Amino acid sequence: MKETGGAPAGIPEQTGLESEGSGEGAGERAKGPATISDVAARAGVSKTTVSHVLSGRRPVSEATRRKVTRAVEEMGFQQNFFALGLSGRRSQTVALVVQDLTNPFYPALARGLQQAVGGRDYVVLLADVGAGTPPIEAFLNEAVQRRVDGVVVAAVDVPDRLLEPLLASGARVVTVGSPRHGTSTDVVSSDDERIAADAVAHLHGQGHRTLGIISGPVRVAPGSARLDGYRQALRDHGLRPLRAAEAVGDWTRESGAKAMHRLMDLERRPTAVFCANDLMAIGALDAARSLGLSVPADVAVLGVDDIDAAGLVSPSLTTVRVPAQEIGRVAGELLLARIDAPSQTPRRVLVQHHLVHRESA
């Protein structure tokens, strides 16, 4: 196949301002960012060949690929991914939106996503819903402008309306948690009702018959699903759910402590408390300590997630392990598959969980 001299659409000729042939000696390049022409000249190939190596869209001999790669490294050439996006090519960029970056679950999830997409040379942009809705709206609008190839939404507090421009732009979306109403996306999640059932079964097996729960916000999963699973599990064991023994937190340590104080103030105080995540469970341990209660002798505490801190607190926290890093990895794999095959049927993947038995329950 005959090679032409011009760069194909989407591979920018320049990555910055430069002036070629302006008073320098023959064959020398003016100072400034390297261009695709500079790389081609250094490697002794055409600009088209350089473009094929950079995009990976056309087969190139291994010897040629090595020459181009060496020239790219020597000259510090940087591809303009924004220009690639404008041309209809992939931008090699994905975005991750998390609920609360201060919660250790989400950095682990982000690592898993990075591991999945990094092998395909994707850059990950990160946004934290904890910063508030206006910043998230601005972030997602910027993601549309940058023509990101995909977005992983690991946050419940992102309105569906904010995802519509992303989907309209052609970006692929994977959600972590429950499916989104009105949108057709791939989903990866834990089995939240089963998690609660396994937690109740463990506490029941230890002889507890008066149980309480500190749930997350119940307007959406996983808060609602873990509460539903807890209630059903009590019924399955012949116990009646006590609404007075149901407290609601907001996934934070502080909210867990506050909720635990309320539960321990009940006339019929629970002998065991299931907390819908580890941060709230650690807050519950704080509250028990401040009340002079011994865990688990006076009250057992069980969490969900198995963050690193779960094994460091005293007493160490019994918890249901939800593999955040694996969730991120699976979300990345689903996203890459969706980018490669946009028309495939949406999928939902449930990751496996298991009980980690420590000292608190």
Express each pLDDT in 17-26 by its tens digit: 233 333 333 3
Residue 210: Cβ-neighbour burial (10 angstroms; 0-12, 13-18, 19+): middle
Which residues are CB-contacts of 41 (< 8 A; sequence separation ≥ 6)?
none
pLDDT of residue 304 exceeding 80 = yes
Measured CA distances, 9 to 26, 28, 140, 178 (Å): 28, 26, 26, 40
Q: Could you identify the residue written with the tokens 């012949």?
A: 238
For residues 312 and 278, the answer to whether their CB atoms sit within 8 Å is no
Residue 107: Cβ-neighbour burial (10 angstroms; 0-12, 13-18, 19+): middle
Q: What's the pLDDT tens digit per position in 66-88? A: 888 888 888 877 655 545 544 45
**Cα 92 from Cα 79, distance rounded (Å):** 11
The whole-model pTM stands at 0.75
Q: What's the pLDDT tens digit per position in 227-280? A: 999 999 999 999 999 999 999 999 999 999 999 999 999 999 999 999 999 999
Which residues are CB-contacts of 339 (< 8 A; sequence separation ≥ 6)?
90, 149, 150, 172
Structure tokens at 245: 């023994």
